[in-house]
Amino acid sequence: MTEPSTSRIPGAHIADPGALGLGAFALTTFVLSVVNAGLVDAEPVVFGLALAYGGIVQFGAGLWEFAKGNTFGATAFCSYGGFWVSFWYLTTQTDLTGLVGNSADHGVAVYLLAWSIFTTYMLIASLRTNLAIVAVFALLTPTFFLLMAGDFSGNDTVTHIGGWLGIITAVAAWYASFAVVTNATFKKTVLPVGPR
């Protein structure tokens, strides 16, 4: 029996999956954040995006980051892809109406607290990437904490602030995605991402 080969196919080049992962994250985050900010009352609009683009597509980008040997990108995209699939499941497939008092909001707050903790350590790890990625995580971390605080306290104003910060986070992620696509397409730095 021979050992499986771990070498890449000669001449094969894997494009940077970061652009796709960041794009999926940005678009889905933007739509949910518009709802969280209280600009529209249309949460069901988010569900399809959460499952398909934010979840499945972003998770796929993470798998390609594994293939490229990028531990940070693989961990980020697979994890946040999992976040979006779990968000979809939590909001469409579970019945929280039977919970007493604030139990449902407090349960969601614990869910968001866990993501806040994960995002905080990803922020620290992002310091070895580039400024565009650091900006995404520096904005996403307080976004999660604000959304968690809004659910725990039942304070819609805090949730709305988290939504506005989420919109800014999405714009930062779109810029990072746009930079990766544009710089790769033009084969030079057109949009700067800051120093590593």
Residues 22, 54 contacting (CB under 8 angstroms) = no
Sign of CA dihedral 131, 133, 134, 138: positive
Tokens of 173: 């992620």
Per-residue pLDDT of 27-71, as tens digits, reads: 999 999 999 999 999 888 999 999 999 999 999 999 999 999 999
Q: What is the pLDDT of residue 43?
A: 86
Q: What is the pLDDT of residue 8?
A: 55
Residues 76, 59 contacting (CB under 8 angstroms) = no
Q: Please identify every stretch of the chain with a pLDDT value under 70, giving residue numbers as ranges.
A: 1-12, 96-104
Q: What's this model's pTM, rounded to 2 decimal places?
A: 0.90
Q: What is the pLDDT of residue 2?
A: 47
Q: What is the pLDDT of residue 196?
A: 77
> For residues 157-183, b (16+ Cβ closer than 10 Å) or e, as one string?
ebbbbbbbbbbebbbbbbbbbbbbbeb
Q: What is the pLDDT of residue 80?
A: 99
Residues 169, 140 contacting (CB under 8 angstroms) = yes
Q: What is the pLDDT of residue 72?
A: 98
- For residue 188, the 8-state DSSP code is S
Q: What is the pLDDT of residue 107?
A: 84
